[in-house]
């Protein structure tokens, strides 16, 4: 399904940004992953902000250093000025953080975001959480969302230049490129030592991605060997950064507006 190609290293600079409004927080992108400051109880630091993750996680090493025991913990999560009662899993995030220059202490997923309308801008990076009436959002596209494995997914089509596949894709804000399910795709002519599942260095290119009535050519891509059943894959920040996003899980809609620079 994928044509092998040399990985392309992206440098995503964090731009100087104005002060965040109430209900907003500044964020940044490290190697394709959206990172935001937050606090889980009295444990504060940087969290991966992943809209494709059904559950939130406190990094195992951080939990042990703070004498948090068990497989779950319940505290108040403070994010973007909101205080959110949250039960998070305690698990190792090493596989997702070893390539990040940021020291990450946890991951924020859809379980704690479900009561909110969530806005995500990439330049400058901003996350907004709106429990009541959200600010005006001038959307130019609206995608219907379906919940797959506890996370929202939208329909898209991909092509390797020969075949076309259409299915549901997660909104992966913890990866740079498109990651296709290992059950549906493979790398062709993969060099030895290449990590087909790399989140930050996608080793291949898609001939085309069709999403929200737009075509993206030569999109960085790789394989997700653990994609949930029902997903063709996930779409990463190299694509989503073309827009400002509004995610409304209650109404199952993803609104897109041209990115403001």
Number of domains in the chain: 2
Kindly state whether residue 62 falls inside one of the protein's structural domains.
Answer: yes
85-103 mean pLDDT: 93
Q: Give pLDDT tens digits for 51-65.
A: 999 999 999 999 999
Q: Are residues 175 and 115 in the same domain?
A: no
According to the model, what pLDDT value does residue 21 have?
53
Q: Give pLDDT tens digits for 36-54.
A: 999 999 999 999 999 999 9
Return the DSSP state at 162.
S
Q: How confident is the model at residue 260 (pLDDT cuts 50, 70, 90)?
A: confident
CB 257 within 8 A of CB 139: yes
According to the model, what pLDDT value does residue 189 have?
72
CATH of the domain at 80: 2.40.70.10
According to the model, what pLDDT value does residue 22 have?
55
Q: Are residues 114 and 143 in the same domain?
A: no
CB 122 within 8 A of CB 236: no
Kindly state whether residue 151 falls inside one of the protein's structural domains.
Answer: yes
The last residue of a domain, from among 94, 110, 130:
130
According to the model, what pLDDT value does residue 171 have?
98
Distance CA 207, CA 181 (A): 17
Q: Are residues 143 and 252 in the same domain?
A: yes
The last residue of a domain, from among 82, 102, 130:
130
Q: Are residues 117 and 142 in the same domain?
A: no
Q: Are residues 96 and 173 in the same domain?
A: no
The chain-wide mean pLDDT, for the chain, equals: 90
184-206 mean pLDDT: 85
Share of the chain above pLDDT 70, in %: 90
Helices marked H in the chain: 60-65, 94-97, 110-113, 237-240
What domain range is 101 assigned to?
24-130
According to the model, what pLDDT value does residue 192 have?
73
The last residue of a domain, from among 110, 130, 150:
130
Q: Are residues 115 and 214 in the same domain?
A: no
Q: Which residues contact 125 (CB under 8 A, 6 or more apart)?
A: 14, 15, 17, 26, 27, 28, 29, 34
Taking alpha carbons only, the member of 46, 50, 52 closest to residue 26 is 46
Half-sphere exposure of 258 (CA within 13 A, CB side): 1
């Amino acid at each position: 399904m994928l044509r092998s190609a040399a990985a392309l290293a992206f440098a995503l600079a964090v731009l100087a940004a104005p002060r965040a409004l109430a209900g907003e927080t500044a964020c940044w992108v490290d190697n394709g992953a959206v990172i935001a400051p937050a606090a889980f109880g009295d444990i504060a630091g940087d969290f991966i902000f992943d809209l494709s993750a059904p559950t939130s996680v406190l990094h195992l090493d951080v939990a042990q250093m703070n004498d948090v025991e068990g497989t779950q913990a319940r505290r108040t999560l403070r994010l973007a000025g909101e205080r959110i009662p949250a039960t998070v899993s305690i698990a190792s995030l090493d596989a997702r953080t070893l390539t990040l220059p940021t020291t990450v202490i946890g991951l924020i997923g859809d379980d704690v975001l479900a009561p909110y309308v969530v806005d995500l801008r990439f330049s400058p990076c901003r996350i907004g959480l709106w429990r009541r009436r959200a600010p005006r959002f001038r959307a130019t596209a609206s995608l219907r969302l379906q919940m797959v494995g506890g996370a929202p997914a939208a329909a898209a089509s991909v092509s390797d230049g020969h075949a076309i596949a259409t299915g549901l894709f997660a909104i992966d804000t913890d990866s740079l490129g498109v990651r296709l399910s290992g059950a549906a795709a493979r790398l062709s002519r993969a060099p030895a030592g290449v990590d087909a599942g790399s989140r930050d260095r996608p080793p291949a290119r898609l001939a085309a991605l069709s999403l929200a009535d737009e075509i993206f050519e030569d999109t960085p891509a790789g394989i997700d060997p653990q994609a949930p059943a029902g997903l063709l894959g996930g779409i990463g920040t190299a694509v989503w950064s073309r827009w400002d996003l509004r995610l409304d899980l209650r109404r199952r809609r993803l609104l897109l507006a041209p990115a403001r620079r």
